[in-house]
Amino acid sequence: MLNRLLARTRLRQLQLLVLIADLGSIQRAAEVVGQTQSSATKALSELERMVGLPLFERHARGVRPTLICRDLLPLLRNMLGSLNGCAEMLAAAAEGVQGILSVGAITGALSGFLGRELPPFLQQHPQLRVEVVEDSHHALLAGLAARTLDMVLVRAPAAAISGTRFVPLLQDEVVVVAAPTHPLHRKRNLHASQLLEQQWVLAPLSTQMHEAFERLFESCEHLPERSPLITRSLPMLLEYLRATYAVALTPLSVVQPFVQAGWLKVLALQFPRTLAAIGLLLPETPEKHGVDMLAEFLMHRSQ
């Protein structure tokens, strides 16, 4: 069966299969790929005959993937993603591009460092292209391990990761920020007790920020009110703080561009340095020559 599938399955059929699963409709999937519904139905039927199993259950409003199809979908998405990446790389090479780098970064690394340092690097190396992916720490480590990312900018790992090296680039600290119109932003020295009546915005699922929040008020009888807003979106946070008298607890690296632009103010509240440095995590032996070029540039710019 394996040889028959490899010999007879067409890429177009696999793309159609994923689209049908995503859209829940053969007709809508056919429209996306520019086919008639009958030709899409025929292609799906051929694929089901080859595997000897139904891949979709038909119902009144469309179709839903069978259990085996659900198991296949992640593999098909990865395969099609890799093929798209190959096609993009070949197209770029035909245009004279000598390499494409995939760089992952947490929000603080983008806002506090990479966002301002990448443009001059690309000006110096126009033959390279850099794809930047913003994601969580754990997702970026998974991408580096799977080699879908060539390097990542993250906080220093708690333990060394085999086959990689970490280079610190940026020190960071916990700060409290508010809108420039907030009545407390002109105070030169603030204490936790003065902020008990404020509404606080905390980053979702951030253990470090929640621990810093609780340490700040551990000498107080109660914790202040938390904002009903839960978001990782910087534009959303900015607009919320500007529209209210709320304050936000955040790494300085995350909001630094907003602070420098005068859109947010750092309140005069001192925290002990509790955040790990942000740095570059990359393979000990990178597969692409551009990785070393970018790494050396970023290390030089951080000094």
pLDDT at 125: 86
The domain made up of 97-171+277-302 has a fold known as D-Maltodextrin-Binding Protein; domain 2 (3.40.190)
pLDDT at 7: 57
| Residue 2 pLDDT level (bands cut at 50, 70, 90) | very low
Return residue ranges of the chain for CATH 3.40.190.290: 174-266
pLDDT at 294: 93
Question: Mean pLDDT over all residues of the chain?
Answer: 86
pLDDT at 179: 94
Sign of torsion, CA 81 83 87 90? positive
Please name the residue ranges forming H helices in the chain.
2-8, 11-23, 26-33, 37-51, 67-94, 107-109, 115-124, 137-145, 207-216, 234-243, 252-260, 289-302
- 147-157 per-position pLDDT tens digit: 889 999 999 98
Q: How far is CA 148 from CA 127, 195, 286, in A?
A: 21, 44, 12
Rounded (10°) CA dihedral 271, 272, 274, 279: 90
Q: What is the mean pLDDT of residues 129-150?
A: 90
CATH architecture of 2-90: Orthogonal Bundle (1.10)
Q: What is the mean pLDDT of residues 82-102?
A: 70
Please name the residue ranges forming H helices in 100-201.
107-109, 115-124, 137-145
Q: Are 136 and 273 in contact (CB under 8 A)?
A: no
**Which position has the token pair 């469309």?**
62
| Residue 46 pLDDT level (bands cut at 50, 70, 90) | confident
- 47-72 per-position pLDDT tens digit: 888 888 899 988 878 899 999 899 88
More confident call, 152 vs 191: 152
Q: Are 232 and 136 in contact (CB under 8 A)?
A: no
Pairing of strands 62-65, 99-105: unpaired
Return residue ranges of the chain for CATH 1.10.10.10: 2-90
Return residue ranges of the chain for CATH 3.40.190.10: 97-171+277-302
Question: Which CATH code fits 174-266?
Answer: 3.40.190.290
Percent of the chain clearing pLDDT 70 (strictly above): 92
- 218-259 per-position pLDDT tens digit: 888 888 888 898 888 889 999 999 999 899 999 999 999 999
Q: What are phi and psi of 176, to 5 degrees?
A: -110, 130
**Chain-centre distance for alpha carbon 267:** 29
